[in-house]
Copies of this chain bind each other. A is one copy, B any other.
Amino acid sequence: MQGEHMTPEDPAQPVAATQEGQVVAGGVEDPDDPTDPDLPDNRAGGTEVLAGAQPPRRGLDRHRIVSTAVAYIDEHGLPKLSMRKLGKELGVEAMALYRYVPAREDLLDGVVDMVVDELYADPDVYLEPRHGWSDYLQRLAHGVRRIALAHPAIFPLVATRPPAAPWVRPPLRSLRWVESFLSALTTHGFTDDQAVVAYRAYSSFLLGHLLLEVAQRGVAINAIDDPDGNPDASRHGLAGYPLIVRLEPELSQDETVAEFEESLENLINRLADMLED
């Protein structure tokens, strides 16, 4: 769009300048932007975490259960997951799962943890900052975004589920990443207080943006899955909302990539300003 100031601090930005700008005419919303580098389909390295052995082997263990649950939720959505279905998926009776998983709630915790742990397998995200703190934040944000887009049905759980360390405000799932974050900042000029402030601002921005993005994506996907949604049906009671009607082209445009980039950059700039004071 317009003003596009990258952080001058680090020319080796992991993400090239977003210059998609081109939009499919007719206001049609195609959620799969082929230029979005965080979309799973556009990822180069085939990082298939789930080693789907097609024949339902007889070896049952917690990891296999949880990863099957992840795949099942990815495919059918969270509400469809039940112990019985998951058992069937594994060629086993529901009760067998209870030898490895104490309860359904616990299973969901495991699902969240496993998905969050995909960050460790992401070659573009470093646990330790190698090219400065702002590069670190950029990479981490895109890594988390990749996870969100890869598991849109699971990501809301990350935000909703009670966290591991309740006394961390705001709480995030992975203590290891909190530690990594704080370390990256405190070793790069941030005071303790500044690092904590930065952590709060960063995590709430990231969560909010991705949750919204995933929600709208889920809707689009649901619409495909469940094609009773007449496209004109949503336009029904729009009589009283002239501005929404007028701005429909802009509103229905998928600017999530650009908006994400811009907000992230702004946040980082804000943190940089904080550093100078």
Contact = CB atoms under 8 A, between A and B. Distances in A.
A257 to B, nearest CB: 12
Interface residues of A, number: 76
A171 B256 CA distance: 12
Interface in A243-259: 243-244, 246-248, 250-256, 259
A102 interface: no
A128 to B, nearest CB: 12
Contacts of A19: none
B251 A216 contact: no
Contact of A277 (B3, B240, B266, B277): B3
Protomer copies: 2
A184 to B, nearest CB: 10
A28 B167 contact: yes
B211 A165 contact: no
Nearest to A213: B170
Interface string A169-191: 11100011011001100100000
A28 B169 CA distance: 9
B1 A160 contact: yes
A117 B215 CA distance: 21
B277 A178 contact: no
A219 B175 contact: no
Contacts of A48: none
A234 interface: yes
Contacts of A250: 192-193, 196
B247 A211 contact: no
Contact of A244 (B178, B193, B201, B242): B178
Interface string A202-245: 01111111011101101110110000010000100110111110
